[in-house]
Structure 1
């Protein structure tokens, strides 16, 4: 195949003496035997998305390697010096279980130290929420975690955190990216100043674990309830093994059964097809152990421990996986009730959610007389809410992609704190003769029965990106008037910052940052969202439908009705 000149120009730069012999040998081999892979490796620069920068590991500008991460770190170092002139700069660095995460973390630490910046580097793998906590705990100016979250084994990533412990948001992200893009590779300072690299571990762990227990456990649960709750837990070969067993034990939970085959951190994730607790298959071994131990609840986390999967027993005693919207609703309702009982709700509090998550969060917040702030996809936006509204108290928040955050000690989705919280709720429910699942059904009776569904279409490479872009163009330029017999009453276009009433043709502005997202609202309250992923080669379609539930006994029939409604919408949109 013929390789474009723009790509050859990049390739030739990487064959210069600024790059090591291993890199150059790999490039020459691709030129000889795999020009398609060469094109994929160099056709663009890796970009920051909703969860930082993620990509396949390898050589090239579109890959995760010492040079792309070195360039990021040099650009960030320059930015820190610009924003905090004359200050003694400090950064914290953590990494997960993925291949090369430890060596890439050391490269990042080297570059920071070479720029005169004090580095606090975890001596072993740690969770993403602990890194977020550490940034504030050690008074750092920024933080980095090397992780690709739940992506396949060939991926790695680079997430940047700011002083508040939250991920980068506009305008800082754009300003940093400009500095990175303006750099030449020969400007990267790789020679470490080892005197500026301090290894950290157990002392920070202890502070993080104590903070988690203070934020996510409640005295309403008697000790006997904790002792009676049977928990199955799996880290899916990831980092949460460093925190969750310790936190649960310190909080008083004695019946914790760990899936031993998945307890060892391993970047190959050998026992699962995908280390993503959103996918039921990932929790197969945990579910089997739950049956063997007659457990009440299953908890599974992704490799960097920001996502939490929860399975519980339904009214028939069968273990089922809850989705992210359901766990978010259960945890939010519990927190709100605890705050109400403690007489802590003044009307200035808020919970956080995202535009693709369940609208039921709005109903919950309204019932308790507080605000539900809704932002773009990604927990960095919920963290930004905390920073932007210092006079309002943040209670908790979540998003549909199995993420939740309790309080503001951690400023990213936190599977460590969420795991403890969901166990507290389950223990209290069991002690009162109920269950976590029963509590969910009670909420559906009180606030409306909501059902959500997600379809992810994977479109890899250059051709896949073009196909995703065309799908979004078609949805914008040729909007449908009705779906499954229901009129489209409103279209929110976050790229154009407009909300269009399809009945009156009135257009109102949307006052949150731009994003390539479209949401269709139907006259029966259904909601359909289309969004290209910011971290994976996918386009995602989110569906939310709802109706009333008069009593718990009718849930199965109502759920079947909502499932059918979702199937009809998918068929009408030709997505099946």
Structure 2
């Protein structure tokens, strides 16, 4: 295979004395034995997506390594000095259980300190939401988490948080990226000022745990808490450092950790993917739940921002809820608690995303609060809190198993959400109901909404081109009919145009531009397509709905909705 000149130009930079011997050796080996891998490593710069920057750990501009992360950190250091001139700058840094997360976190800390910036570095792995909390608690200007969330073991990542505790959003993101891109590698300051690096641990843990309990507890009787039998798995990740303490201190004593998955391990040896969205990931927890007859299973991804929940259905079978279901359950529970407390005044809101269930709008309307809808990614929900200080944020979520309770943490937070779902489950059990029965009751009141996600993996350069072409085809040849139903509306978030296909009327949308298309069918079905911002995937989101007259009809209505989803998937050829 011939290596393109532009790739060789980049490789030659990385073979210069700026880079260490190990990098040189790795490059020379790839040039002779793996030229295709070399091209993958250098054909572009690693980019910031919906959840920060993620990539395979290796040498190259399109990889996670000390130089790509060092360049990011140098750029952020320079930017902080420009935006906050004369201030004593402070940053907080956390990292997860992945291979090299601790050493990469120290590299990031070194670069910040070398630039004269005070660093608060967690002394061991911690959940991502604790970093968001710590940043605000310590009054830092920015924060970094070294994590690749639920990606495979060979990945790592770099998430950047701002003063408000939320991830980077416009205009800071583009401004920082410009500063980073203008840097050369010889401008990175790697020599640490150890006097500026302070290690943090138990004091922040206590404050975070206390805050989580305060925000997600709702007067559940002690007896009800003791009656709830919980199975929990951290999926070899960071939540084991916090969630057991949160639930114990909140009064939940019948608590069982999956022993094979309790130890942090960057290889994630017991699962194909450490993603609670995947039923297989929670199979060991569900087996334990069946063995001990538990009421609920909770499982978190490696950095503890996503929460998977399994509960007993009406036949006593343990089933995994999807992210939309857990979101509407927890949102309704919060709304009801706020209503009981007399805290709903018309100046509150809940948050959701454009690819999540429309049922969130129905809930908000019923409780006379606003439902703000943003792009995929919790950074947009955090931005809502900042943009509308006159409104009180109750909670919100997205379909990909993320939820946020209140605004103490400005990112999806599986810690507080774990406690919240246990509060809901304990109160439901105490009154002779269950989480699943509560969901069915919601369907009778607001409509039976059923969602399904199809993720198509397309790796590498060719995969990226295929994903790009799929989106082009959907734009240039928009579907007029799907599964026998006419398309009523097409929203193109890249052009910011919503077009009524019946009248040809167009409306300009105010949500920021993004590579997303959403089709609305005449029966209320919603179909969205978007490339993932963190993985080599294109995702299709299908939402269907119907009325549910009685809980007794739930199984029949669900079968009908499932059949409709499958017909759509088959027609679109995305299965």
TM class by smaller structure:
over 0.9
Task: Normalising by structure 2, report the TM-score.
Answer: 1.00
What does residue 406 of structure 1 align with? 405
What does residue 175 of structure 2 align with? 175
How far did 1:480 drift? 1.3
Give distance in 2, aligned partners of 1:491 and 1:145. 37
Q: Secondary structure at the match of 2:49?
A: coil
Q: Secondary structure at the match of 1:94?
A: strand
Q: Secondary structure at the match of 1:455?
A: strand
Q: Secondary structure at the match of 1:362?
A: helix
What does residue 84 of structure 1 align with? 84
Give distance in 1, aligned partners of 2:399 and 2:28. 44
What does residue 489 of structure 1 align with? 488
Q: Secondary structure at the match of 1:433?
A: coil
Could you list the per-position Cα deviations for residues 507-548 of structure 1 after superposition, in whole angstroms to 9, with x for gaps in the alignment? 000101100000000000000000000000000000000000
How far did 1:2 drift? 1.0
Query: Equivalent residues in 2 for 1:44-443 (5 A)?
Result: 44-219=44-219, 221-443=220-442
How far did 1:571 drift? 1.3
CA RMSD of aligned residues (A): 0.4
How far did 1:450 drift? 0.3
Give distance in 2, aligned partners of 1:76 and 1:574. 43
Give distance in 2, aligned partners of 1:245 and 1:259. 12
Give distance in 2, aligned partners of 1:132 and 1:575. 37
What does residue 561 of structure 1 align with? 560
Q: Secondary structure at the match of 1:151?
A: coil
Give distance in 2, aligned partners of 1:569 and 1:295. 36
Could you list the per-position Cα deviations for residues 60-116 of structure 1 after superposition, in whole angstroms to 9, with x for gaps in the alignment? 000000000000000000000000000000000000000000000000000000000
How far did 1:26 drift? 0.2
Could you list the per-position Cα deviations for residues 140-193 of structure 1 after superposition, in whole angstroms to 9, with x for gaps in the alignment? 000000000000000000000000000000110000000000000000000000
Could you list the per-position Cα deviations for residues 462-520 of structure 1 after superposition, in whole angstroms to 9, with x for gaps in the alignment? 00000000000000000111101111000000000010010110100010110000000
Q: Secondary structure at the match of 1:465?
A: helix
How far did 1:119 drift? 0.1
Q: Secondary structure at the match of 1:365?
A: helix
Give distance in 2, aligned partners of 1:133 and 1:89. 18
Query: Equivalent residues in 2 for 1:467-506 (5 A)?
Result: 467-506=466-505
Give distance in 2, aligned partners of 1:541 and 1:574. 11
Runs of 4+ in structure 1 off by over 2 angstroms are: none
Give distance in 2, aligned partners of 1:67 and 1:256. 43
Q: Secondary structure at the match of 1:474?
A: helix
Query: Equivalent residues in 2 for 1:519-534 (5 A)?
Result: 519-534=518-533
Q: Secondary structure at the match of 1:26?
A: helix
Give distance in 1, aligned partners of 2:570 and 2:131. 43
Give distance in 2, aligned partners of 1:88 and 1:229. 48
Q: Secondary structure at the match of 2:539?
A: strand
Could you list the per-position Cα deviations for residues 528-570 of structure 1 after superposition, in whole angstroms to 9, with x for gaps in the alignment? 0000000000000000000000000110000000000001111
How far did 1:293 drift? 1.1
How far did 1:437 drift? 0.4
How far did 1:251 drift? 0.1
Which runs of 5 or more residues in structure 1 are unaligned? none
Give distance in 1, aligned partners of 2:399 and 2:61. 32
Could you list the per-position Cα deviations for residues 205-237 of structure 1 after superposition, in whole angstroms to 9, with x for gaps in the alignment? 000000000000111x10000001000000000
Q: Secondary structure at the match of 1:112?
A: helix
How far did 1:18 drift? 0.1
What does residue 19 of structure 2 align with? 19
How far did 1:4 drift? 1.0
Task: Normalising by structure 1, report the TM-score.
Answer: 1.00
